[in-house]
Chains A and B, each alone.
Chain A
Amino acid sequence: DGGITQSPKYLFRKEGQNVTLSCEQNLNHDAMYWYRQDPGQGLRLIYYSQIVNDFQKGDIAEGYSVSREKKESFPLTVTSAQKNPTAFYLCASSSTIDRGAAFFGQGTRLTVV
């Protein structure tokens, strides 16, 4: 089945630890995105990538890092520098960044204790 997979669904980490969220797609899409969603809020863009080995900061990139070494994969690291990391994280991909509809993964709920 083609799709976009995020793992894990739920993640718990201690304060001060870095944590990496996985996002894999087999849709052959060039563009991939990471969004953060807080309770009752909309989606805020963290990072996006138009093509392999290239990525750009979104609106709230501070405290996060990404890599795009393979077309299929766009992992997000939440670093200890992120002041309020507890949130619902969503990964998406689209065929192109300027026209293609984006498809989302199921999300990862990160809780930092």
Chain B
Amino acid sequence: GQQLNQSPQSMFIQEGEDVSMNCTSSSIFNTWLWYKQDPGEGPVLLIALYKAGELTSNGRLTAQFGITRKDSFLNISASIPSDVGIYFCAGPLDYKLSFGAGTTVTVRA
């Protein structure tokens, strides 16, 4: 079953806004991964985090590995239309790579 709780489930963005999503678990992780998936394509790795407290940026994206090792968040600054898609958090647990249910980002009309 789902061991990574990702929120929000969906969000609407307006160009220029900053957006944030997070992932929590009752289990401890030693790696947190964030992916983006466009329709009909495979997920693309955005950021990988390997150390508790680590804060890593990739362009307008910033992700942090929570101190408790049970959570992580992803921020997108100054969003643009091509940021729409589904964002997944993931991490290895019990020798399996598990995924959150995803956050669907849509442009606000």
Q: Which residues of A contact B (CB under 8 A)?
A: 6, 31, 33, 35, 41-43, 45, 48, 50, 56, 58-59, 88, 90, 92, 94, 97-107, 109
Q: Which of B13-21, B57-65, B67-75, B98-106 forms part of the interface with chain A?
A: B98-106
Q: Which residues of B contact A (CB under 8 A)?
A: 1-2, 30-31, 33, 35, 40-45, 48, 50, 88, 90, 92, 95-102
Which residue from chain B places its CB closest to the CB of A105 in the assembled complex? B42
Contact status A98-B45, CB under 8 Å: no
B74 to chain A, nearest CB (A): 15
B62 to chain A, nearest CB (A): 17
Q: List, in ascending order, chain A residues with CB within 8 A of B95's CB.
A: 48, 50, 56, 97-98
Contact status B41-A102, CB under 8 Å: no
The 12 listed contacts between A and B (C-beta, < 8 Å) are A42-B2, A42-B88, A42-B99, A45-B97, A88-B40, A97-B96, A98-B95, A101-B31, A101-B45, A104-B35, A106-B42, A107-B42
Q: Which of B1, B43, B48 contacts A59 (CB 8 A)?
A: B1
- Report how far A102 CA is from B96 CA in the complex, Å: 11
Contact status B40-A48, CB under 8 Å: no
Which residue from chain B places its CB closest to the CB of A91 in the assembled complex? B42
- Report how far A3 CA is from B36 CA in the complex, Å: 17
Q: A101-B31, A101-B33 are in contact. Are A94 and B41 (CB under 8 A)?
A: no
